[in-house]
Amino acid sequence: MAAHRIVTKFIKVNFKITDNTLDKKLVNYIDRMPFNNCKELKMITRDLIVFFAKAFTGNSVSQAKKFLNRKNKVVRTFDKVIIAFCSGIVVILLLVLMYLTFGLDR
């Protein structure tokens, strides 16, 4: 349902033509998708929770629901340091590459 609302808003903003075949095809395509049907969405969600429970929480469905429904995902400080370090290496490598490409022509 949410995807349908997003697409209709997108169509309203971007497609000003009144008789637009792309608009009709896009809406029909989204209506056929499984995420637009509530029953199928509930079945898919239940299957995902059961799979997650079996794989990661030792068959505890309540823990799987808690873990999957958390709004704020906490990033560990060590992970932040690794991300910052790798980002710094990429930036330095790009600067060196730019210097070697454009800086030696003078």
15 confidence band (pLDDT: 50, 70, 90): low
Over residues 11-25, mean pLDDT: 63
CA distance 104 to 101: 7
Give, in degrees to the nearest 5, the angle at Cα 75 between 73 and 78. 165
* DSSP secondary structure string for all residues of 7-33: HHHHHHHH---SS-HHHHHHHHHHHHS
Q: pTM, whole model, 2 decimals?
A: 0.38
Contact 57, 51 (CB under 8 A): no
29 confidence band (pLDDT: 50, 70, 90): confident
Residue ranges of domains in the chain: 75-106
User: Burial of 64 by CB count in 10 Å (0-12 exposed, 13-18 middle, 19+ buried)?
Assistant: buried
CA distance 30 to 42: 17
